[in-house]
Copies of this chain bind each other. A is one copy, B any other.
Amino acid sequence: MLPMNTSIRHLLTLDRLNAEQLNSLLDQAEALSPQALGAPLSPPRLADKTVVNLFFEPSTRTRSSFELAAKRLGATVLNFDMANSSTRKGETLADTLYTLEAMGGDIFVVRHSGDGVVAQLAEICAPRTCLVNAGDGKSAHPTQGLLDMLTIRQHKGRDFSGLKVAIIGDIRHSRVARSDLHALRILGAGEVRLAAPESLLPNADVMQGFRVVDSADAAIEGVDVVMTLRLQRERMEDGLVSSMEAYFRDWGITPERLALAKPDAIVMHPGPMNRGVEIADAVADGPQSVIRQQVSNGVAARMAVLSALHAESA
């Protein structure tokens, strides 16, 4: 069912995939949408596999989404909230991986605060191990990129060449934005505009090839897709934003601001939302919001990824 060219060893970042591979994963996710919501999958694809969720940062949403995806594929699932684990006993991350490999873990879904940590694990893991990056530092969150592209495609079609996308908010600290940018570049999105307070813009290399505009209004005008990002409250303590009120006024997605986009523009947010900070209630709950659809697509996209992984020895 899944073409061989989307068989991948690990999913660390989207930017090494080509458009064909990426679209093939999205096709798979689309096909698995009913199963993602609970329709039976027969035969189960991962019945003999053990999926280990190894989360070194707290997460409810991403961990649950992977847990459901793995269970719906028939896998055995182990969850590790590494806040309460033997890493506290001084064990190295590598030894934690080796231990769980030795217990029979096949696929490791890893979230870590360190940039590149999952890629480092890919260097040292066993030949039979497959790794999925569930978010590393500020670097990448590839399954979020996939689910976002799936959501866009469902509304705007497979051809991204005429697509105008605005990404607004804390791009600097967002691994979501980075993976979305990877995917939008690969899929050839027509125009991508980035907008954020100067303190929340990323380094130049991240923005290369995209258009940086200096206001939310300029970003939104005439676009097909508005992606807003979570503002972490600690950014205010860090002095990167002056106040939540000022941020909302300048960068929040309000109905007035959204009216500048195309009438059929969709609004996306990776969650969890700060209502009244980066997005107004009327937008979050309004007819153009596809935020819940993103969540549903997340389970389907993760099922597609877990199905496509293919270890060397397999």
Chain A: residues with CB nearer than 8 A to chain B? 36-40, 47-50, 58-61, 64-65, 67-68, 71-72, 76, 78, 80-86, 88-92, 95-96, 98-104, 106, 232-233, 271-275, 292-296, 298-299
Contacts of A91 in B (CB 8 A): 271-273
A128: nearest residue on chain B (CB-CB)? B37
Question: Are B272 and A95 neighbours in the complex by a CB distance under 8 Å?
Answer: yes
Beyond A85-B60, A99-B271, A272-B95, whether A37 also contacts B67 by CB under 8 A is: no
Contacts of A59 in B (CB 8 A): 86
Contacts of A86 in B (CB 8 A): 58-61, 271-272
Question: Are B274 and A103 neighbours in the complex by a CB distance under 8 Å?
Answer: no
Contacts of A101 in B (CB 8 A): 292
Contacts of A48 in B (CB 8 A): 38-40
Question: Are B78 and A68 neighbours in the complex by a CB distance under 8 Å?
Answer: yes
Question: Are B68 and A295 neighbours in the complex by a CB distance under 8 Å?
Answer: no
Question: Are A98 and B272 neighbours in the complex by a CB distance under 8 Å?
Answer: no
Question: Are B68 and A38 neighbours in the complex by a CB distance under 8 Å?
Answer: no
In Å, the complex CA distance between A83 and B299 comes to 24
The 4 nearest A-B residue pairs measured at CB: A91-B272, A102-B295, A102-B292, A60-B85
The distance from the CB of A66 to the nearest CB of chain B, in whole angstroms, is: 11
The distance from the CB of A64 to the nearest CB of chain B, in whole angstroms, is: 6
Beyond A78-B68, A84-B81, A292-B98, whether A298 also contacts B38 by CB under 8 A is: no
A92: nearest residue on chain B (CB-CB)? B275
The distance from the CB of A298 to the nearest CB of chain B, in whole angstroms, is: 7
Question: Are B90 and A64 neighbours in the complex by a CB distance under 8 Å?
Answer: no
The distance from the CB of A58 to the nearest CB of chain B, in whole angstroms, is: 6
Question: Are B275 and A99 neighbours in the complex by a CB distance under 8 Å?
Answer: no
Task: Give me 7 other A-B pairs in contact (C-beta within 8 A), A60-B82, A65-B103, A99-B271 excluded.
Answer: A38-B48, A39-B48, A58-B86, A68-B78, A68-B103, A99-B295, A104-B299
Contacts of A92 in B (CB 8 A): 275
Contacts of A274 in B (CB 8 A): 90
In Å, the complex CA distance between A296 and B95 comes to 14
Contacts of A90 in B (CB 8 A): 233, 272, 274
Contacts of A84 in B (CB 8 A): 58, 60, 81, 83
Point out the residue from B61, B65, B85, B104 that lies within 8 Å of A37, measured CB to CB: B104
Question: Are A36 and B104 neighbours in the complex by a CB distance under 8 Å?
Answer: yes
Interface centre among A71, A293, A295 (most CB of B within 10 A): A295
A90: nearest residue on chain B (CB-CB)? B274
The distance from the CB of A49 to the nearest CB of chain B, in whole angstroms, is: 7
In Å, the complex CA distance between A151 and B120 comes to 30
In Å, the complex CA distance between A85 and B83 comes to 13
Question: Are B38 and A106 neighbours in the complex by a CB distance under 8 Å?
Answer: yes
Contacts of A95 in B (CB 8 A): 271-273, 275
The distance from the CB of A76 to the nearest CB of chain B, in whole angstroms, is: 5
Contacts of A96 in B (CB 8 A): 60, 272
